[in-house]
Amino acid sequence: MRSYTRVFVGQLLLTAVCCSAGLFFLLVGYSAWSEAPGWGWPVLLFAIGLVVTVLIPFVATTATRQMFPRITRGNRVKGGRTSYEDDTFVMWAPKSPEGSAQARLTRADVLEASLSRYCPDGESTFTTHYGNYTPDEFTPLIRLRLRVHDAEESGPATAFEVTGEWRVPSLCLSAITAGRLVVLVDPAAPGAERTVTPHWPRSALLAGTRTCRVTDLEGRTTFVTRRVERQLRQMRISREAGGVVMNGDTIDLRRLDPHTAARYAAVAERDRTHPEAPAPVSEPGEEARRLADQLPREEGTFGSVGRGWSRRGGVLARARFLEMRARTTFQDHGPVLDTVLRIQPPDGTPPFDAARRLTVPMNYLTALHRTKEAVLSVSPNGASYDVDWSRTNLLAGITEATVITPDGRELPLAGRPDTIWALMNLLATHGLSNPSPVLDLRKRRMREVADVLLEICAESG
C-alpha cells in the first residue's frame, strides 16, 4: 500500500532536482563570500539560493497533499456536521447551454453509449484552466443513441430516436449509465432534423445522482428524487421562471415569488392525489451504455496492505460523499473536485464531515447514481484517513468481485457490497494483500483465513 511518507520523499527528491539551481546559487554565493566578505553579488546569490532551498520542503509538502488524498483533523467541517441529511448528495456541475426560448425541455432514454474520444496530454500531472469550466481535452466525447419523448403533457405520447456525439462533463457521466437524460428539443423546420441538446446538470438530477427535496409553503419537506414526471414539470417551471435556486438539494417554496411558488404547489398537489412511483435506479439495458470500462480508471481490488500499518492497528473505514463541486483543475484519469464526506470512524464514535479536494476517477463517477460510498484506510493512531480508490471501486461494483473457493468454485459477489466490505476488513486485519478483484482461497497464504472468508460469503447468501 502506498504510504504518505513514500510519496513525500519522492516529491522531495523531485523538487530538489527541479530546484537544484537554488542549491548551486547557495554554494557559489557562500564560497564567494568566504573568500571576499562584504556586501555584493555573493550575498545576492546566497540569498537567492537560500530562498529557493527553503521553498523545497514547502513545495514538496503541497504537491504531496495534492497527490495523496489524506484527510486529517484540519479537514473537518467547522462547527460539527453539516446540515445535510445522510441520504443527501449535492452536486455543482458545469453549466450547459439553455438553448433557444422555443426549445422544449423533455426526457430522453439512453439506448446505447460508447466513448468516441478522450485523449488529454497532461499525463498524470495537474492541469488548471482559467475561465473555461469544461475544456474539451478533459471532457469525454460520448456517442449516444437516444429515444426522445417529445410530447405535450396533454397530447399523445410520441417519441423519436437520434444518434450523435456530445461532450459530457465527467461529473455527470452517471446520468448516461442510469439511462435518463434531460434534453432540449428545438422545433422542427420543414424537411430538417430536430436539434437535440442534452442538459447535463438537469440530467444528473433526473437520473437520481443529485438528490432533490421540496419544502412547501407550510414547511413540509418531500423527497422527490427519481420522481421523473414531477421533476420534469418542476424543471419546466424553473426554466420559464428564469431559474430556481436549490439550497443544497432542497427547493424551498417559501423563498420563491408567489406565482412560481403557486405553480410548484400545484405540481405537489397533483403528486399527492396521483402518487408517482420512483423510477428504477438504472433503466433496463445498462450493459449497452456502460462506460466505466472505456474511460480512464482505477481498477477495483480487495486492496494492498502494508504490514507495518496492519501490525500497528491500521483499519478500514467507510464514508459517504455528501457534496461534489467542479473545479478547473484536472488529471487525465479524473477531475479534481471539492468534496465533503461523512466519515464513520471505526471506533464507534459519532460520524463527522470533512471537506477535501480530491481527484476522483472517472469510472467511479459513472456509478454515482448507485452509490456515493468510499473506503478509507485509517492510520494506526486514528488521526488521518486516506481515500482508497481501488477498494472504493470494488465496493461500488464498478469492478466485479469474485471469490474462488478451495475446491475451485467461483462465487461472484456482484450486488453484495456488505459481503465485500467484510472480506476487505478481514484481509486488512490479518495483513493480507490482494491487489486483485479475484480472491483466490487456494493460495497458501489464504489458508488460515479461508474458512472464515467462506463463512462470511455463506452468511450473506
Nearest alpha carbon to residue 93 among 187, 183, 199: 199
Contacts of 95 (CB under 8 A, 6+ apart): 133, 201
- pLDDT of the residue at 336: 92
Q: What is the pLDDT of residue 52?
A: 67
Kind of pairing, strands 104-117 and 70-71?
unpaired
- For residue 44, CA distances in Å to 33, 34, 37, 56, 141 come to 10, 14, 13, 19, 52
Distance CA(138)–CA(329), nearest Å, equals 10
pLDDT at 1: 45
Full-model pTM: 0.86
**Which residues, including other chains, have CB under 8 Å from residue 149's CB and lie 6 or more apart?**
106, 107, 108, 109, 157, 158, 159
User: 377 and 316 in contact (C-beta within 8 Å)?
Assistant: yes
Q: Which residue from 340, 343, 377 is spatially nearest to 360, judged by alpha carbons?
A: 340
CB of 375 within 8 A of CB of 316?
yes
Give the separation between CA 461 and CA 452, rounded to whole angstroms.
15
Helix (H) or strand (E) holding 161, with range, is strand 159-167
- Confidence (pLDDT) at 45: 59
d(CA 414, CA 190): 50
Task: Write out the chain's pLDDT in tens, 461 residues.
Answer: 455 676 677 767 777 777 666 666 566 665 665 665 555 556 565 666 666 666 677 776 777 766 667 898 889 998 766 788 999 999 998 888 888 888 899 999 999 999 999 988 766 678 888 776 678 889 999 999 999 997 665 556 688 999 999 999 999 999 999 999 999 998 876 656 788 999 999 999 999 999 999 999 999 999 999 999 999 999 999 999 988 988 889 999 999 999 999 999 999 999 999 999 999 999 999 999 999 999 988 899 999 998 788 888 889 999 999 999 999 889 888 999 999 999 999 988 999 999 999 999 999 999 999 999 999 999 998 889 999 999 999 999 999 999 999 999 999 998 899 999 999 999 999 999 999 999 999 999 898 899 999 998 887 66
